[in-house]
Amino acid sequence: MKPVLLVIAHGSRDPRHAATVHALVRRVRSLRPDVRVETGFLDFNIPSVQGVLESLAAEGVRDVVALPLLLTRAFHAKADIPAVLRDAPRQLRIRQAEVLGPSPLLLSALERRLYEAGLTPADKSSTGVVLASAGSTDPEAIAVIADIAREWRHTGWCAVRPAFASAALPRTEDAVRELRALGCAKVAVAPYVLAPGFLPDRIARGAAEADVLAEVLGPAPEVARVLLRRYDAAAARGLLRLTVSA
């Protein structure tokens, strides 16, 4: 039996968040019907992560891959999720998968969202892009966003600047103005977030002076593929350990 994939989302009071998470999980299930996929939320929405784990244990499930639905390794991946998993029923063998980012597939998803919003490949060399993330107090997460922006710039954009909706600077609107001052013919904002909510709405407001605002990543096929790659890697590590110990 393959381990159950438990997708762990943050949760939000905004109903669009849970709806987007569920749409992504449906896409994952369609890609891998051989894997059981469940969803749990850390806060605001049900079912809770703890509730799902208890239900799985009651069913007799033994192996679970817990996958943080996060783009960077920040506080939730390093502290919140491990704390919840430590309180899981003891009969469960749980492996925590890596967060989704960074990944070339996510850059492909960001680019496709920009084209869906109205850009064309011919616009690339004259367009500056704001890579707008939620933000974090974790320096590792901030550094990752800056690295992604530098990598993306090398694919042909006029310029790429990171921006943050909270906890770090610059804000989206400041990055938009910087790119305009650099002389980019167009300025586009690419939200590096998975689902709508409070901070993505702040990104959208900061994009008021941009020419193009892309949609959030949401249930993009590339996101689903990254998610399954993280699941497969975590499951394979577990199988290797079991084989060696046997």
The per-residue pLDDT for range 200-241, each reduced to its tens digit, is: 999 999 999 999 999 999 999 999 999 999 999 999 986 544
pLDDT at 1: 85
For the chain, where are the alpha helices, taking DSSP H only?
Answer: 15-31, 49-59, 75, 81-86, 104-116, 139-153, 172-182, 198-206, 221-245
Please name the helix (run of DSSP H) or strand (run of DSSP E) that holds residue 187, with its range, or none: strand 186-191
pLDDT at site 75: 82
Residues of the chain with pLDDT under 50: 240-246
Note whether 159 and 184 are within 8 A (CB). yes
Q: What is the pLDDT of residue 239?
A: 56
**CA R_g for the chain:** 19
pTM for this entry: 0.94
